[in-house]
């Protein structure tokens, strides 16, 4: 989940020279591709060790890029990994520092003005994490409380909208990344942490005492998460989408999901125990790149 790049920021990137849109030609010419990854985005994309990244979206992108390699007839494809953040991910994609972003990005209509998205591969639910002894069990109980979230994400926007509708006021506090946001909760500088449920589950699972924390309350939003691409490059998007849809139709995407969310994963062999939601399975059954809030007509 990430905030859209501002118009001013986009203008700066454009002024500096946006990377050429023909990503396939660029990959064929250089024999290399750079994947944007996250250091701590739950089981979707995370750092296993220094310079080594793993996760559901990382593996999906690796398989997509293997298909790209075959289509281009490359004997070898050098996949490079670059850690990105909520704040710099879109500029790095636009200026060519990365070619494909495989983190935990919400597909929104505002972001689609600047970038493109592959078909939805994960549908996220935004919720609250609290200390088990906090007494907080729902949105109604955060009035006057400090709620942490990560700078550059949409989570606090969602929470503000829901809280405003319920006549509740809270104090947002911001971490520079998901680990920092959770640290605010751990150290008592925040009373709750609002974020994607799979990120909350993964962060809690890695805590020294996971039982000290709970994911509570109603689902605040349901958001389509997708691999992000440069806009205006339909050939590359077509290859990426076709690769993902093939995995959806074969059932391979479901098997990969089980590996990352229902089985112990490296480096600590923790198990998130987060089954694929009905909304995620529906996205696999009917592949689409609709942004958040775009409900299909019946």
Please report the pLDDT score of residue 15 as a whole number.
Answer: 39
DSSP β-ladder status, 45-49 and 122-131: unpaired
User: pLDDT tens digit string along 17-32?
Assistant: 445 679 999 999 999 9
Q: How confident is the model at residue 296 (pLDDT cuts 50, 70, 90)?
A: low
Please report the pLDDT score of residue 19 as a whole number.
Answer: 55
> Is the pLDDT assigned to residue 14 strictly greater than 70?
no
All domains of the chain, ordered by start, with CATH? Answer: 7-121+226-285 (3.40.190.10), 125-223 (3.40.190.10)
What is the C-alpha separation between 291 and 184, in angstroms, rounded? 31
Q: In 181-264, where do the E strands start and end?
A: 192-196, 213-225, 228-230
Q: Among all chains, which residue has been given the structure tokens 């990244």? A: 53
What is the C-alpha separation between 45 and 137, in angstroms, rounded? 28
Residue bearing the bigger pLDDT, 5 or 177:
177
Question: For residue 22, what are the contacts with CB-CB under 8 A and spacing of at least 6?
Answer: 233, 235, 236
Residue bearing the bigger pLDDT, 220 or 6:
220
Compute the average pLDDT of residues 244-257.
Answer: 98
Radius of gyration, alpha carbons of the chain:
19
> Is the pLDDT assigned to residue 254 strictly greater than 90?
yes
For residue 232, how many other CB atoms are within 10 A of its CB?
A: 13
3-state secondary structure of 221: strand
Q: Extract the tokens encoding 62.
A: 């690796």
> Is the pLDDT assigned to residue 3 strictly greater than 70?
no
Please report the pLDDT score of residue 16 as a whole number.
Answer: 40
User: pLDDT tens digit string along 82-93?
Assistant: 999 988 999 999
Judge contact between 292 and 108, C-beta under 8 A: yes
3-state secondary structure of 42: coil
> Is the pLDDT assigned to residue 155 strictly greater than 90?
no
> Is the pLDDT assigned to residue 9 strictly greater than 60?
no
Compute the average pLDDT of residues 194-218.
Answer: 91
Please report the pLDDT score of residue 295 as a whole number.
Answer: 53
- Nearest Cα residue to 108 out of 125, 97, 120: 120
């Amino acid at each position: 989940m990430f905030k859209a790049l501002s118009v001013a920021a986009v203008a700066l990137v454009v002024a500096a020279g946006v990377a050429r849109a023909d990503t396939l030609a660029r990959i064929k010419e250089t024999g290399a591709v750079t994947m944007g990854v996250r250091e701590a985005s739950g089981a979707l994309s995370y750092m296993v060790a220094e310079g080594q990244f793993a996760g559901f979206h990382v593996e999906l992108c690796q398989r997509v890029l293997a298909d790209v390699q075959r289509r281009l007839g490359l004997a070898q494809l050098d996949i490079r990994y670059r850690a990105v953040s909520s704040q710099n991910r879109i500029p790095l994609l636009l200026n060519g520092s990365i070619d494909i972003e495989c983190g935990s990005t919400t597909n929104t209509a505002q972001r689609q003005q600047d970038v493109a998205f592959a078909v939805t591969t994960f549908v996220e639910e935004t919720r609250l994490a609290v200390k088990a002894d906090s007494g907080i069990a729902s949105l109604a109980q955060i009035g006057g409380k400090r709620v942490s979230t990560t700078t550059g994400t949409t989570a606090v926007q969602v929470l503000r909208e829901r809280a405003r509708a319920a006549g509740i006021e809270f104090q947002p506090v911001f971490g520079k990344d998901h680990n920092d946001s959770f640290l605010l909760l751990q150290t008592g500088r925040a009373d709750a942490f609002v974020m994607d449920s799979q990120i909350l589950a993964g962060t809690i699972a890695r805590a020294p005492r996971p039982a000290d924390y709970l994911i509570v309350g109603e689902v605040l939003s349901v958001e389509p998460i997708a691999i992000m691409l440069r806009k205006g490059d339909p050939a590359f998007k077509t290859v990426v989408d076709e690769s993902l849809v093939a995995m959806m139709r074969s059932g391979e995407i479901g098997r990969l999901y089980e590996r990352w969310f229902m089985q112990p994963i490296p480096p600590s062999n923790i198990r998130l125990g987060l089954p694929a939601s009905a909304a995620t399975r529906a996205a696999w059954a009917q592949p689409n790149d609709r942004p958040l809030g775009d409900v299909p007509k019946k």
